[in-house]
Structure 1
Amino acid sequence: MQRTKFGDMACSIARTLDVIGEPWSPLILRDVWVGMSRFDQIQADLGISRKVLTERLTHLVDEGVLERRPYDQRPRYEYHLTAKGTELVDLLMVMTRWGDRWLAGEAGPPVLYRHHACGEIGHVDLRCSHCGEPMHANDIDPLAGPGAAI
């Protein structure tokens, strides 16, 4: 089945979904972020088929989110986040915050995050880049930007 292409839409959400909008890609990014850089590690952790993992890794490399680095004389590679991929992990952290709040249940969050700067366990909190105040869906008005479709 052919995947719908969202990359040409004048919408940053659609364009982002074109890169990571199927369920395996965010999980692959998560695994690489936490240190699983080899194909077999990721495949074993996710239980994903080798064919699907190969396709997803190729897509993420082609999109500039991951880079491949050889680690063996045979054609074997490790996968590492690029700057573009590291910034996507910020998006995953926002998703984690939502999942911890609404889906973790009584057991609580499965993973905690220690902030390097202060050493404390914390969570992502969206803030305005201009004034530093909290910034959530009810706190903003979406306006047409320079790249809006006319």
Structure 2
Amino acid sequence: MDVTLAAGSAWTDPACPVARTVDLVGDRWSLLIVRDAMDGATTFTEFHQRLGIARNILTDRLRKLVEHGILDKSAATDGRRHTYRLTEAGQDLFTAVVALRQWGERHAFAPDEPHSILVDGQGRELPELHSLGQDGAPLSAEASHVRKTAGTRPA
């Protein structure tokens, strides 16, 4: 996967995984494109119709998501257009999207305000995500901290 930014751009915080992720997919449209790809959208037309996004912005975001290895672009069977599919890296955003969705359900809606819900293959609502420690106990921001690494990825 190419994790470089466009020429002239720099990472917001080169040593922070959160900052790099936001640099790659943190704008409104990119995450909504990823969300819709997870929900089955595969063509420019499908993304455009679902999102109501300006065509030039959609073109730019799709290009960036392909360049950064989040979407894969291939010729459609009719040969006139392209299809977009999530790569492994794009699929790996599923947990992050679920976490954002669940945060929104708790904090962005009034208690009786209708909203969509995410369900599993049997139609059951997904359980609430929680960060757990190595011992299986729940973690919070207060119970964790950032440790800088020396260029190696933690196991």
**Once the two structures are superposed, what CA deviation does each residue of 1:57-103 show, in whole Å capped at 9, x if it has no partner?**
01001100011122233341111111100111211111111111111
- CA distance in structure 2 between the aligned counterparts of 1:109 and 1:135, rounded to whole angstroms: 30
- Could you tell me the TM-score, scaled by structure 2's length? 0.81
Does the Cα contact within 8 Å between 1:100 and 1:109 map onto a contact in 2?
A: no
Unaligned runs of 5+ in 1: none
Q: TM-score, normalised by structure 1?
A: 0.83
- 1:35 paired residue number: 40
Q: After TM superposition, give the deviation of residue 17 of structure 1 in Å.
A: 1.1
5+ long unaligned stretches in structure 2: 1-6
> Structure 1 CA distance, aligned partners of 2:113 and 2:151?
41
Q: Which residue type is aligned with residue 132 of structure 1? A: G
| Identity level (%) | 29
Q: How does 1:1-150 map to 2 (within 5 A)?
A: 5-6=10-11, 9-108=14-113, 110-116=115-121, 120-128=124-132, 130-147=134-151
Total equivalences in the alignment: 146
CA contact (8 A) 1:6 1:17 kept: no
- The one-letter code matched in structure 1 to 2:149 is G
TM superposition shift of 1:135:
2.1
Q: Deviations over 1:21-45 (max 9, x none)?
A: 2110000000110011111011011
Q: Is the 8 A contact 1:66 1:79 kept in 2?
A: yes
